[in-house]
Amino acid sequence: MGSSKFQEALQSGKFVVTAEAGPLKGTSTTELEEIASVLRGKVDALNVTDQQSSVMRLGSMATCHLLKDWGMEPIFQMTCRDRNRIALQSDLLSAHVLGIENCLALTGDLPSLGDHRQAKPVYDLDSVQLLWAIKRLNEGYDIAGNELKGKTNFFAGAVVNPGADTEAAYELQIIKMQKKIEAGARFFQTQAVYDPVTFAKFMKRVEHFKVPVLAGVIPLKSAGMARFMNKNVAGVFVPEQFITKMAEAENKVKAGIEIAANLIKDLKNICQGVHLMAIGWEKKVPEILKTAGLIS
Amino acid sequence: MITAERKSFDQIKESIKEFESLLVLGCGTCVSVCMAGGEKEVGLLASELRIKNRLDGRDVRIGEATIQRQCDQEFIGPILETARKYDAVLSMACGAGVQLVAEMLAPMRVIPALNTRFIGITQEEGVWVERCRACGNCVLADYGGICPITMCAKSLVNGPCGGSKGGKCEASNEKDCAWVLIYNRLKKQNRLENIFKMFMPKDYSTQAHPAQMVNEAYLKVGVEEKHGK
């Protein structure tokens, strides 16, 4: 079986761009189709989140399948929060049958952060074990050791938080990254990066793993959003200069796009690509990439 | 110990409103230590019920008793006769105690007065915290004596999620990230290499409910004593 288009993009050595789309709550796919048509040909792949922030929505697998139909290369995000090992493996088989080739394994936020706070969290497998499960399915076996009639062919990846704020948390992120690679992760997408200097140090630390890393970029929409992330989102640190720029900017959209584009320019020399989490600004991604000089 | 906390007075009142006599039955072990269902709490709840009934103009006979353990037939046996003189028993034991008392008094009604919470320790006076999920396959040796199954909100065994902030958990900034604790403990023990091990998916078949355990050696001795050698 061949490689996915996303895998080929990474292997080509070019600076790879992925973006993120979150399915909506409900069955409406109009917005997703619009995002797909805006981003087609502009990004190498599109991640589809899995019940992001533990808010119940349309599923990632069905959305990934639709994206294939719309000519996009999807990355199927899969968390360990809502499914046990039977359901996770079965969904991976189903995703394969639907033509999905890339999978991103995540732990998943706690249900208490979402809109069904009384839900029972699962976490039967963790993200390292999920990667291992994908590897086993690719090899033609389930994790109980039973042989499959027809195996999967996933290009599996994982996430890492390069901005962990204590020595222990930082070292643990690198240790877990190593374990994820050993379990089968072949690319990484990171939490949002705002300080290329600190991120460059992180990349130096993980260089020897020789696994491509796409740095997370979240365009700022306002000073308030930046302050909120600094206070509440683990591993995200927006420097004061960006907050001031956003606060003083007359045209916030233009300022947010400029900051993101400049970050991408800096990151180009540090890692293998960027992962744009636009959170509602998906249709502005082409403009960000254009300002960063990645597309014309 | 097994910790528990009392249901709200309104909930308790609602659950016993049909009875004209009631035995409030305490348990002298775990729930006594965590101040939820011991002799003192039986006295308090019984008094509260008596006052409320008087205010409501209801004539309900309320008795009090506390036995050493409601999870042990040996201690329930002597109280059965007394208990049957009431319409119902309001048990202040954990869920296990309530069930055994209900089984031995069946078909008499036994109503729980507590919500059973967790297996935990006393952190300070009046504060109890969970320390064990009774997973049936103890992994504490691998993690420097800190349980990732219990202390990590997601029971992660291969390292933290990305949600740890300032050494605290994504679930609550008042709770420590278990993985930061494990890292620091293992580092002090010079055993950090332990974290690099890949831990395979946990065997949750040990959690099949209802669980049972049998001490074969003890059973054998019991049989020999009963039937002579």
CA distances A3 to A9, A10, A154, A180, B35, Å, are 10, 11, 9, 20, 62
| Tens-digit pLDDT profile for residues B137-196 | 999 999 999 999 999 999 999 999 998 888 999 888 899 999 999 999 999 999 999 999
Which residue in A has a C-alpha nearest to residue B164's C-alpha?
Answer: A234
CB-based contact B113:B24 (threshold 8 Å): yes
Q: Give the Cα separation of A153 and A273 in Å (integer).
A: 23
**Using 50, 70 and 90 to split pLDDT, how confident is the model at A1?**
low
The rounded mean pLDDT for chain A is: 96
Q: In this structure, are B79 and B55 located in the same domain?
A: yes
Q: In this structure, are B156 and B99 located in the same domain?
A: no
CATH number of the domain bearing residue B76 = 3.40.50.2300
Chain-chain contact of A234 with B165 (C-beta, under 8 angstroms): yes
> Into how many domains does chain B fold?
2
Which pair of structure tokens corresponds to residue B59? 């004539």
In a domain, B143, yes or no: yes
Backbone phi and psi for residue A26, each to the nearest 5 degrees, phi listed first = 125, -170
Chain-chain contact of A124 with B171 (C-beta, under 8 angstroms): no
State in Å, rounded, how far the first CA of chain B is from the last one.
Answer: 38
Chain-chain contact of B167 with A168 (C-beta, under 8 angstroms): yes
Beta strand B2-6 pairing with B114-124: antiparallel
* A-B C-beta contacts closer than 8 Å: 99
How close B203 comes to chain A (CA, Å)?
A: 10
Residue type, B11: Q
Alpha helix ranges (H) inside chain A = 5-11, 30-39, 60-69, 85-97, 127-139, 167-183, 196-206, 223-232, 240-248, 252-267, 285-291
Nearest 10 degrees: Cα torsion B14, B19, B21, B26: -40
**Using 50, 70 and 90 to split pLDDT, how confident is the model at A214?**
very high
Q: Within 10 A of B23 (CB to CB), how many other CB atoms are there?
A: 26
Q: In this structure, are B90 and B176 located in the same domain?
A: no
Q: Tokens 């240790």 map to which residue?
A: A175
Distance from the Cα of residue A92 to its chain's centroid = 17
Distance from the Cα of residue B169 to its chain's centroid = 25
CA distances A279 to A91, A192, A221, A266, Å, are 26, 12, 10, 22
Chosen for mutation from B154, B188, B195, B206 (greatest number of chain A CBs closer than 10 Å) is B154
In a domain, B144, yes or no: yes
Chosen for mutation from A128, A142, A180 (greatest number of chain B CBs closer than 10 Å) is A128
**Structural Rg of chain A based on CA atoms:** 18
In a domain, B126, yes or no: no
Of A155-164, B17-26, B104-113, B205-214, the poorest mean pLDDT is in B205-214
Domain housing B165: 133-201
Nearest CB among B161, B187, B198 relative to A179 is that of B198
Residue type, A196: P
Chain-chain contact of A173 with B177 (C-beta, under 8 angstroms): no
Q: In this structure, are B30 and B89 located in the same domain?
A: yes
Task: Provide the residue ranges of all domains of chain A, joining segments of one domain with +.
Answer: 5-291
Average pLDDT on B28-52 reads: 97
Is residue A219 reached through a cis peptide bond, with omega within 30 degrees of 0 on the bond before it?
Answer: no
Rounded to a whole number, what is the largest CA-CA distance in chain A? Answer: 61
What pTM did the predictor assign?
A: 0.94
Nearest 10 degrees: Cα torsion A274, A280, A281, A285: 40
How close B179 comes to chain A (CA, Å)?
A: 8
State in Å, rounded, how far the first CA of chain A is from the last one.
Answer: 34
Q: In this structure, are B30 and B87 located in the same domain?
A: yes
CB-based contact B6:B89 (threshold 8 Å): no
In a domain, B123, yes or no: no
Which pair of structure tokens corresponds to residue B193? 């290499």
Nearest CB among B170, B179, B201 relative to A172 is that of B179
Nearest CB among B163, B184, B199 relative to A168 is that of B184
Q: Three-state SS for A82?
A: coil
Q: In this structure, are B75 and B101 located in the same domain?
A: yes
How close B70 comes to chain A (CA, Å)?
A: 30
Backbone phi and psi for residue B176, each to the nearest 5 degrees, phi listed first = -70, 145
Distance from the Cα of residue A175 to its chain's centroid = 19
pLDDT score for A14: 96
Q: In this structure, are B7 and B113 located in the same domain?
A: yes
Contacts of A159 in chain B (CB under 8 A): 162
Average pLDDT on B12-17 reads: 97
The rounded mean pLDDT for chain B is: 95
Which residue in B has a C-alpha nearest to residue A80's C-alpha?
Answer: B154
Contacts of B166 in chain A (CB under 8 A): 165-166
Q: In this structure, are B148 and B80 located in the same domain?
A: no
Residue type, B138: C
Contacts of B198 in chain A (CB under 8 A): 128, 132, 179, 182-183
**Structural Rg of chain B based on CA atoms:** 23
Chain-chain contact of B183 with A121 (C-beta, under 8 angstroms): no
Q: Which residues of A touch B (CB under 8 A)?
A: 80-81, 85, 107-110, 112-113, 121, 123-129, 132, 143, 159-161, 164-166, 168-169, 171-173, 175-176, 178-179, 182-183, 191, 233-235
Angle at A10 between CA A7 and CA A16, to 5 degrees: 120
Nearest CB among A127, A165, A176 relative to B165 is that of A165
In a domain, B213, yes or no: no
Contacts of B196 in chain A (CB under 8 A): 175, 178-179
* DSSP codes of every residue in chain B: -EEEEEPPHHHHHHHTTT-SEEEEEEESSHHHHTTSSSHHHHHHHHHHHHHHHHHTT---EEEEEEES-TT-HHHHGGGHHHHTTSSEEEE-S-HHHHHHHHHHHTTSEEEE-EEEEEEEEEEETTEEEEEE---SS--GGGGTT--HHHHSTT--SSS--TT-BTTB-SS-TTSB-HHHHHHHHHHHTT-GGGGGSPPPPP-GGGG-SS-----HHHHHHHHHHHH--
In a domain, B68, yes or no: yes
Q: In this structure, are B44 and B137 located in the same domain?
A: no
Q: In this structure, are B113 and B32 located in the same domain?
A: yes
**Using 50, 70 and 90 to split pLDDT, how confident is the model at B229?**
low
Angle at A89 between CA A87 and CA A95, to 5 degrees: 100
Chain-chain contact of B156 with A178 (C-beta, under 8 angstroms): no
% residues pLDDT > 70 (chain A): 100
Q: In this structure, are B162 and B88 located in the same domain?
A: no
Q: Which CATH class is domain A5-291?
A: alpha beta
| Tens-digit pLDDT profile for residues A91-141 | 999 999 999 999 999 999 999 989 999 999 999 999 999 999 999 999 999
Nearest residue to B3 (alpha-carbon basis) of B118, B112, B130, B129: B118
Chain-chain contact of A159 with B155 (C-beta, under 8 angstroms): no
| Tens-digit pLDDT profile for residues A7-42 | 999 999 999 999 999 999 999 999 999 999 999 999
Q: Which residues of B touch A (CB under 8 A)?
A: 153-167, 170-171, 177, 179-180, 183-184, 187, 195-196, 198-202, 204
Average pLDDT on A234-260 reads: 95
| Tens-digit pLDDT profile for residues B62-119 | 999 999 999 999 999 999 999 999 999 999 999 999 999 999 999 999 999 999 999 9
CB-based contact B3:B117 (threshold 8 Å): yes
pLDDT of A227 above 90: yes
Chain-chain contact of A161 with B177 (C-beta, under 8 angstroms): no
Chain-chain contact of A179 with B196 (C-beta, under 8 angstroms): yes
